[in-house]
Amino acid sequence: MKIESHTDPGMLLDIKRRRMAMTAEELWNQSGFGGKYEAWAFGEAPDRLASLVRDGIKTATCSAYDLYEAENESLPAVGDYSVILNSQDEAVCIIRTTRVSVLEFDHVSAEHAWKEGEGDRSLAYWREVHEDFLRRELAAVNRSFNAQTKVVCEEFERVYPQGPV
């Protein structure tokens, strides 16, 4: 007698995804890279942004320069490795920083906005959403935002997994 399964395909994908979920350390060890790495998630919409990185669309990000000072953290540097996490702290992929620059918010280029891969990828869209984001982030450390606020613009490449995902 043949028994048919009526399992929801979405449920099967969810089960498969949970089985494949890894911690940052597990993904780092699987990659074969040595040395140090940072593990972090994007501050807003971490799942969506991590997916854009994994899919090779998002190859840049930015953050408020003042936050590094307020949190006594060093700036990212060319050659740094990061494990990108989703909202569940599951490792999505590994990136390597390829360029870092500090500039005023109103000097961020259309090219950088495009590399961030969000929305319609225009500079106007980038400025709108990042001004709102940076205002909130800076307010949390009692700092204010204006068009001359310094931002750390970071470019990166996905190095693991390689190829289409």
Q: What local confidence, expressed as pLDDT, does residue 19 receive?
A: 44
pLDDT tens-digit readout, 48-89: 999 999 999 999 999 999 999 999 999 999 999 999 999 999
Residue 14 lies inside a defined structural domain of this protein: no
Domain of 28 in residue numbering reads as 23-160
In a domain, 17, yes or no: no
pLDDT tens by residue, 131-146: 999 999 999 999 999 9
Is position 123 within any domain? yes
In angstroms, rounded to a whole number, what is the distance separating the alpha carbons of residues 163 and 165? 6
- For residue 119, is it within any domain? yes
Q: What is the pTM of this model?
A: 0.85
CA distance 45 to 32: 29
Residue 118 lies in a domain: yes
Give me the number of domains the chain comprises. Answer: 1
Residue 12 domain flag: no
Per-residue pLDDT of 74-133, as tens digits, reads: 999 999 999 999 999 999 999 999 999 999 999 999 999 999 999 999 999 999 999 999
- Per-residue pLDDT averaged across 44-49, rounded? 94
Q: Are the C-beta atoms of residues 100 and 56 closer than 8 Å to each other?
A: no
Which domain CATH number covers 76?
3.10.400.10
Asked whether residue 7 is assigned to any structural domain, the reply reads no
Residue 13 lies in a domain: no
